[in-house]
Chains A and B, each alone.
Chain A
Amino acid sequence: MIDQGIKSRPTYEALRRDPTGRRHLYLCAGEGPAPDALSDGPLESWTVAPAAAEGTLRRPQGEGERRFRSSRQLLDTLGRRLAGERMGLRLYAEGPEDFLWDVFGIAQDHGLGRSEVFLKQSGTLARRVQCVHCKTFNEGVTTTIVRCAGCGANLFVRDHFSRRLSAFQGVKIDAEQPGDVPQAERAYP
């Protein structure tokens, strides 16, 4: 990955159990399982069944374990769950970056602060990119330059990241000299 020297891009550390919490909920955009460093005590674990296994997996048996059909379904359930939660909860999320910050946004909407939510990127490094000119979100971007699905501009994917939008910023690369577009490189597999 090319480091553009921009400090707003989050860095992620391995998930560890926060001993100051009283209840712990692990959310994974994939199959899990939760890392050992989380499992040192009671832990709820919410995972998502891989699309390839549709209809073939049995419900999880362990206490506090739930498996969802999609990360969308997991996120919707999370909102309802947090609405009734009490102080003392710690959230841990693992998955692609857009999933992580979607979790964070839901958590924040329900009163959790930055010190009560822990995130770890895993799986694809593909980026959600917002076109700063037309505001369209371009999902799953793996290249340094992407053509905006909204306005057609060739966007340079800046390392500037908004946690609120869960997206990187895309800026027209040839704004000063239209047509002067370098070759896109695959950078975020």
Chain B
Amino acid sequence: MILDRLIPARVAGIDSLGPTLKRFRFEPESGRFPTAAPGAHILVTLRGPERVWKNAYSLVTPPDQRDGYAIIVRRVRDSRGGSHFLHDHLRPGDRVEIGPPASLFPIASLARRHILIGGGIGLTPFLSYVPVLRARGAAFELHQYCTDEETGIFRELLAEAGAGVTVHGETSRRSFTEVLTDQPLGTHVYTCGPAGMMEAVEAAARDLGWPEAAIHKESFGGAEGGRPFRVTLARSGRTLDVPETQSLLEALETAGIEAPCLCRGGACGVCLTGVVDGEIEHRDHVLTEEERAGGRLMATCVSRARSDVLVLDL
């Protein structure tokens, strides 16, 4: 399968799941969507009246469902990432463009048992894992951690997931250590949710002697703002300002500069761009220590500047 352009699609339906949660269903304008990996995410291009958003969302549909994709989005307060646009403005029938589904959060092929730990909306990649694990006859447990108010919503989403699923509200929840204790050799843990929760899962697993290779964290969506800085593009001579609420990639896009990208979370390496001058604050998961120290390459989607000015090879 060679997918060299965005896939035109329409909003097929929008389901309200709770006060801040909606499921958006998309259907292709023609043909069928590509087979998506379990745990895959898609880059959705949303064209608002004033600006364009390109956001990555986990698919909640299983790989073999190719007549429609679905995502679940929480409306974030002070949204700058487009969740308010999805929630407040997108209507059934609207057109969107979808990038090829990418997977940076695959199921480990040699794992003999899988523990899935979701936090809040971080459940989404596991909604596509579950039917796959079930079809493969794999041993797994799913633990969803959320607020007491949302236990009902997540229980309903997981109604068809079957045995081995536990939704933990705030009261009387099991600790990560309890969940991970006494698991047989070859168990892998996967976690997706708020950064603090994922770190706690990782710490609990490490403390029990789990090797790094058995701990998997969904790493996209980590782009956060920071100190503003100025960027000069060495080839075109243009200069732009990156404000504290915007990523470098977003600033490039806003300025109409064709900048490659995929995961928008510092995990895939597609956006790596040459740096001619300036000091980089690396926030990606791709570059080696050597490359970081070299200071000549940066991931525009998450990394920022330590110096006031960066000169890019663009």
Residues of chain A touching chain B, judged by Cβ–Cβ distance below 8 Å, are 20-23, 82, 85-90, 108, 110-116
Contact = CB atoms under 8 A, between A and B. Distances in A.
Interface stretch (B88-96, B207-215, B277-285, B301-309): B207-215
10 contacts: A20-B209, A23-B209, A82-B185, A86-B184, A87-B183, A87-B185, A88-B210, A89-B185, A111-B110, A115-B212
Nearest to A22: B209
Nearest 10 interchain pairs by C-beta: A111-B186, A88-B209, A22-B209, A111-B185, A115-B211, A111-B112, A85-B185, A87-B183, A21-B209, A113-B213
Nearest to B187: A87
Name which of A22, A85, A116 has the most chain B CB atoms within 10 A of its CB. Answer: A116
Contacts of B210: 87-88
B209 A113 contact: no
A87 B208 contact: yes
A20 B182 contact: no
A87 B212 contact: no
Nearest to B186: A111
Contacts of B209: 20-23, 87-90
Interface of B: 110-112, 180, 182-187, 206, 208-214
A21 to B, nearest CB: 5
Given A20-B211, A115-B212, A115-B213, A110 B185 contact: yes
B203 to A, nearest CB: 12
Given A86-B185, A111-B110, A111-B112, 11 more contacts: A20-B211, A86-B183, A86-B184, A87-B183, A87-B214, A89-B209, A110-B186, A111-B111, A111-B184, A114-B213, A115-B212
A21 B187 CA distance: 15
Contacts of A114: 213
A88 B208 contact: yes
Contacts of A115: 211-213
A154 to B, nearest CB: 38
Nearest to A82: B185
A111 to B, nearest CB: 2
A85 to B, nearest CB: 5
Given A111-B112, A113-B211, A86 B182 contact: yes
Contacts of A88: 208-210
B214 A113 contact: yes
Contacts of B112: 111
B206 A87 contact: no
Name which of A88, A112, A114 has the most chain B CB atoms within 10 A of its CB. Answer: A88
Contact of A22 (B208, B212, B213): B208
Contacts of A85: 184-185
Name which of B112, B180, B210 has the most chain A CB atoms within 10 A of its CB. Answer: B210
A88 to B, nearest CB: 3
A71 B112 CA distance: 27
A116 B185 CA distance: 10
Contacts of A112: 185-186
A113 B186 CA distance: 8
Nearest to A116: B211
Contacts of A21: 209
Contacts of A22: 208-209
Nearest to A24: B209
Name which of A108, A111, A114 has the most chain B CB atoms within 10 A of its CB. Answer: A111
A108 B112 CA distance: 11
Contacts of B213: 113-115
Contacts of B185: 82, 85-87, 89, 110-112
A110 B213 CA distance: 15
Nearest to A115: B211
A82 B184 CA distance: 9
Nearest to A111: B186
Name which of B110, B186, B210, B212 has the most chain A CB atoms within 10 A of its CB. Answer: B186
Nearest to B183: A87
A29 to B, nearest CB: 22
Contacts of A89: 185, 209
Contacts of A82: 185
Contacts of B182: 86
B41 to A, nearest CB: 26
A22 B184 CA distance: 14
Contacts of B214: 87, 113
Contacts of B184: 85-87, 111
A86 B212 CA distance: 16
A109 B39 CA distance: 26
A112 B182 CA distance: 15
B183 to A, nearest CB: 5
